[in-house]
Amino acid sequence: MNNHLIALNNFSRQQLQSLIVRAMVLKQESRNGKRQDQLVGRTIALVFDKPSTRTRVSFEAAMYGLGGQVIFIPTKETQLSRGEPLKDMARVLDRYVDAIVMRTHGQEIVEEVARYSKVPVINALTDLYHPCQILSDIMTVIESKGAPENLKIVWLGDGNNMANSWIEAASCMGFGLTLACPEGYGPDETVLEQAMKKAKKPITLLHDPVEAITNADVVNVDVWASMGQEDEQQKRLDIFKSFQLNKELLAKANPSAVVLHCLPAHREEEITEEVLEGAQCVAFDQAENKMHLHKAILESFVCRTKNK
Ligand code: CP
Ligand code: NVA
């Protein structure tokens, strides 16, 4: 297995599946009150350059839950903010900690840290990808609807970091994916092209939300303006209007369809309050599963490093 988790396309179907299956086991163990202490004596650093509620707290809770320790490092409080090169930070942190979990802007930033770090680097969201989130989302899909290869899974809205990681997951794990994005707001072209070449089931990009959602089993939505795109927020409200997941649009999906939202949600923009709070929405199970999935990731990656 790769030493770093910075994009899903570096992994096989079996490797991704085994992380999800392990997360399900760890979730059940937690429910049964089993003590989990496989990372006692281990420490991770969370280096975050963007806000976070779920990813930060679920990684911290996961690490503490496995008996380990966490150092949270807002990038602006490090010497990076005064010009220290990333490659120096990577080669310093790897002397102190057993893994570096990073949330930042450019994918090239986590790639550079991974190039220099001797300990695993985990991508906790970049402008291009949100790989750990998609693994816990697939876990939620399996729990609520069964095997993804038997389902119509739909992405509605912006072709953002979440969409790109869903595309890579679909191609690596062999399930189909239908995306509907406004013209000019599609996913990363290289990500889509490479995934389509590798895919066993169709990955389809549409521009009509009604066509995409018809007979869907799983409907994914996310904010229309991601972190870093705040100045486009107003303009996007108009462009994305017809992609809002409301009761009428959801009625085109299968009646038993589930709705996923990675949160935070902007109510009455990409999703209505009624749908977010409705019986079909599994967003809060999804949020919980981040913690179990992050335990599986930490257990798998941190256990490979030598004790300091
Ligand atoms: N879903 C997600 O990544 O949420 P946060 O931005 O709160 O971490
Ligand atoms: N696409 C969103 C996801 C937030 C978890 C963003 O990058 O802001």
3 state SS for 8-57: HHHCCHHHHHHHHHHHHHHHHHHHCCCCCCCCCCCEEEEEECCCCCHHHH
C-alpha distances (whole Å) from 156 to each of 56, 210, 261 are 26, 10, 11
Which residue puts its alpha carbon closest to atom 1 of ligand 1? 262
* pLDDT tens, residue by residue, 9-49: 999 999 999 999 999 999 999 999 999 999 999 999 999 99
pLDDT band, residue 149 (cuts 50/70/90)? very high
* Residue 2: predicted pLDDT: 79
Q: Is the pLDDT of residue 161 over 70?
A: yes
Ligand 1 geometric centre to CA of 51 (Å): 8
Ligand 1 geometric centre to CA of 197 (Å): 30
Percent of the chain with pLDDT over 90: 97
Q: Is there a common fold for 8-129+290-302 and 133-287?
A: yes
Say if pTM beats, i.e. exceeds, 0.85: yes
If one looks up domain 8-129+290-302 in CATH, what number appears? Answer: 3.40.50.1370
Q: Which atom belonging to ligand 2 lies closest to the Cα atom of 226?
A: 8
Q: Give the three-class secondary structure for 79.
A: helix
Strand 177-180 versus strand 203-206 pairing type: parallel
The tokens for 52 are 């976070």
Calculate mean pLDDT across residues 203-215: 98
* Residue 298: predicted pLDDT: 98
CA angle (289 as vertex; 41, 266 as ends), nearest 5? 120
* Residue 271: predicted pLDDT: 98
Q: Which atom belonging to ligand 1 lies closest to the Cα atom of 130?
A: 3
Q: Is the pLDDT of residue 140 over 90?
A: yes
Distance, CA of 261 to CA of 218 (rounded, Å): 11
Calculate mean pLDDT across residues 89-118: 98
Q: Is the pLDDT of residue 304 over 80?
A: no
Query: 158, 138, 156: which is closest to 146 by C-alpha?
Result: 138
Distance, CA of 251 to CA of 34 (rounded, Å): 41
Distance, CA of 58 to CA of 301 (rounded, Å): 16
CA angle (103 as vertex; 94, 28 as ends), nearest 5? 85
Ligand 2 geometric centre to CA of 167 (Å): 16
Calculate mean pLDDT across residues 164-182: 98
* Residue 305: predicted pLDDT: 77
Q: Which atom belonging to ligand 1 lies closest to the Cα atom of 57?
A: 8
Calculate mean pLDDT across residues 125-149: 98
pLDDT band, residue 269 (cuts 50/70/90)? very high
CA 269 to chain CA centroid, nearest Å = 21
Distance, CA of 129 to CA of 165 (rounded, Å): 5
pLDDT band, residue 306 (cuts 50/70/90)? confident
Calculate mean pLDDT across residues 115-131: 98
* Residue type at position 27: K
Residues with a CB atom less than 6 Å from ligand 2: 125, 160-162, 222-223, 226-227, 262
pLDDT band, residue 217 (cuts 50/70/90)? very high
* Residue 104: predicted pLDDT: 98
Among the residues of the chain, which ranges form H helices?
Answer: 13-31, 54-65, 86-96, 107-116, 131-145, 161-173, 189-198, 209-213, 233-239, 247-250, 273-276, 283-302
* Residue 154: predicted pLDDT: 98
Calculate mean pLDDT across residues 52-59: 98
Task: Give the residue extent of every domain in the chain.
Answer: 8-129+290-302, 133-287
Domain 133-287 falls in which CATH fold? Rossmann fold (3.40.50)
* Residue 307: predicted pLDDT: 75
Distance, CA of 120 to CA of 298 (rounded, Å): 9
Q: Is the pLDDT of residue 103 over 90?
A: yes
What is the average pLDDT score of the chain? 97
Q: Is the pLDDT of residue 241 over 80?
A: yes
* Residue 13: predicted pLDDT: 97
Q: Is the pLDDT of residue 1 over 70?
A: no
